[in-house]
């Protein structure tokens, strides 16, 4: 069964639940902060608490696959349940897997996360384009077919990213600007928003200009860096300009550090979502 287009579903979820994506990142130090053991029991308790607290109220939950994979098949089983339970409760699930390969291998990655028959079927997945944008075609095509979404790494918040992403191609466009141009073409004509997004760090500020980045891609912009990494909701209009209404701010530690108290997790997520709403509203009327 083909779902309604991801971009349509995402826009509705952001309008109804607030423009926020919360990461599910059960790394060892966070498990310790929650007084949980760094084993499958701790992983399961952590994940269950986050899903129970937030899946019925935030727009997007973003599990980081690596933190589940490190526990082997039992960790993947926890991830499968988290995906299914989150979607059942109404949250969109963005699988943070950052997969990237060519040919049949990329097709297999796409099927893992974007095929409705897969146990890990998610609403969207993060992918890496650095084997060439064309290498992503199996994921892009399957997303269109299944009503899911793809978020392509474009301008990431880690400082090392500039080495590749700001590199200038023949003709003068940066690698990042090229990726954004490809996504703009994928989203052409989509309403209210396309299903092909970019990952653009909320902490980048003026460095976006150095990359020649036009963020108006008619698609969602996943923006890591809010909270623990130093960016605030108030920074979003300055960083993203007219594209700010398409921004999906990602907060992980900023919310998760309040666990395992369910009420505190909910309060923190609600506060971030309200702050983003206010910052977007203050930026002025939508520009399309």
Residue 40 has pLDDT above 60, yes or no: yes
Confidence of residue 211 (pLDDT cuts 50, 70, 90): low
Q: If pLDDT is split at 50, 70 and 90, which confidence band does 287 have?
A: very low
102 phi, psi to nearest 5 deg: -125, 155
How far does CA 172 lie from the centroid of its chain? 29
* Residues annotated catalytic, as ranges: 98
Give the C-alpha separation, 178 to 2, whole Å. 30
Query: From CA 257, how far away is CA 227, in angstroms rounded?
Result: 11
Q: How far is CA 68 from CA 88, 222, 259, in A?
A: 20, 21, 18
pLDDT category at 209 given cuts 50, 70, 90 is: low
Percent of the chain whose pLDDT exceeds 90: 84
Measured distance CA(32)–CA(34) in Å, rounded: 5
78 in Cβ contact with 44 (< 8 Å): yes
On the question of pLDDT at 255 being above 70, the answer is yes
- Strand, coil or helix: 223: strand
User: pLDDT tens digits, residue range 48-98?
Assistant: 999 999 999 999 999 999 999 999 999 999 999 999 999 999 999 999 999
- Partners of residue 250 on adjacent β-strands: 21, 224
288 pLDDT tier (thresholds 50, 70, 90): very low
In this structure, what are the phi and psi dihedrals at residue 42, rounded to the nearest 5 degrees? -65, -40
Q: In 3-state terms, what secondary structure has residue 281?
A: helix
What is the model's pLDDT at position 157?
Answer: 85
User: What is d(CA 36, CA 169) in angstroms, rounded to the nearest whole number?
Assistant: 48
State the DSSP code for 229: T
Instruction: Write down the pLDDT at residue 62.
Output: 98
Which residue blocks in the chain are alpha helix, DSSP H? 6-17, 28-33, 40-54, 65-69, 72-88, 103-114, 137-146, 162-165, 175-186, 207-210, 236-240, 253-256, 262-282
The answer to whether the CB of 276 falls within 8 A of the CB of 19 is yes
Residue whose C-alpha is closest to residue 2's, from 194, 147, 195, 191: 147
Q: So what's the pLDDT on residue 194?
A: 98
pLDDT band of residue 103 (cuts 50, 70, 90) is very high
Q: For 162-190, what is each residue's pLDDT tens digit?
A: 899 999 998 889 999 999 999 999 999 99
Cis peptide before 192 (omega within 30 of 0): yes
Q: For the chain, give the mean pLDDT.
A: 94
Cβ atoms within 10 A of the Cβ of 218, count?
21
Measured distance CA(278)–CA(91) in Å, rounded? 22
- What confidence category does residue 236 fall into, taking pLDDT thresholds of 50, 70 and 90? very high
Q: Coil, helix or strand for 39?
A: coil
Phi, psi of 217 (to 5 degrees): -105, 5
């Amino acid at each position: 069964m083909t779902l309604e287009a991801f971009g349509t579903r995402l826009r509705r979820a952001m309008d109804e639940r607030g423009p926020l994506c919360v990461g599910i990142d059960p790394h060892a130090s966070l498990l310790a902060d929650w007084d949980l053991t760094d084993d499958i029991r701790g992983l399961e308790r952590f994940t269950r608490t986050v899903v129970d607290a937030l899946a019925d109220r935030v727009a997007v939950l973003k599990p980081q696959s690596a933190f589940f994979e490190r526990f082997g098949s039992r960790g993947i089983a926890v991830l499968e349940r988290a995906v299914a339970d989150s979607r059942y409760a109404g949250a969109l699930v963005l699988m943070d897997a950052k997969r990237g390969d060519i040919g049949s291998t990329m097709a297999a990655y796409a099927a893992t996360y974007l095929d409705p028959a897969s146990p890990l079927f998610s609403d969207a997945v993060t992918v890496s384009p650095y084997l060439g944008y064309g290498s992503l075609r199996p994921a892009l095509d399957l997303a269109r077919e299944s009503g899911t979404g793809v978020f392509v790494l474009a301008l990431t918040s880690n400082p090392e990213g500039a080495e590749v992403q700001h590199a200038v191609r023949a003709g003068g466009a940066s690698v990042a600007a090229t990726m954004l141009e490809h996504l703009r073409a994928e989203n052409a004509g989509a309403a209210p928003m396309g299903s092909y997004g970019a990952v653009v760090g909320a902490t980048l500020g003026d460095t976006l200009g150095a990359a020649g980045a036009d963020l108006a891609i008619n698609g969602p912009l996943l923006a890591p860096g809010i909270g623990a990494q130093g960016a605030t909701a108030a920074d979003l209009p300055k960083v993203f300009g007219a594209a700010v209404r398409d921004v999906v701010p990602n907060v992980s530690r900023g919310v998760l550090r309040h666990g395992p108290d369910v009420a505190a997790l909910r309060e923190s997520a609600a506060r971030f979502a309200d702050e983003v709403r206010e910052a977007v509203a203050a930026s002025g009327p939508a520009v399309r």
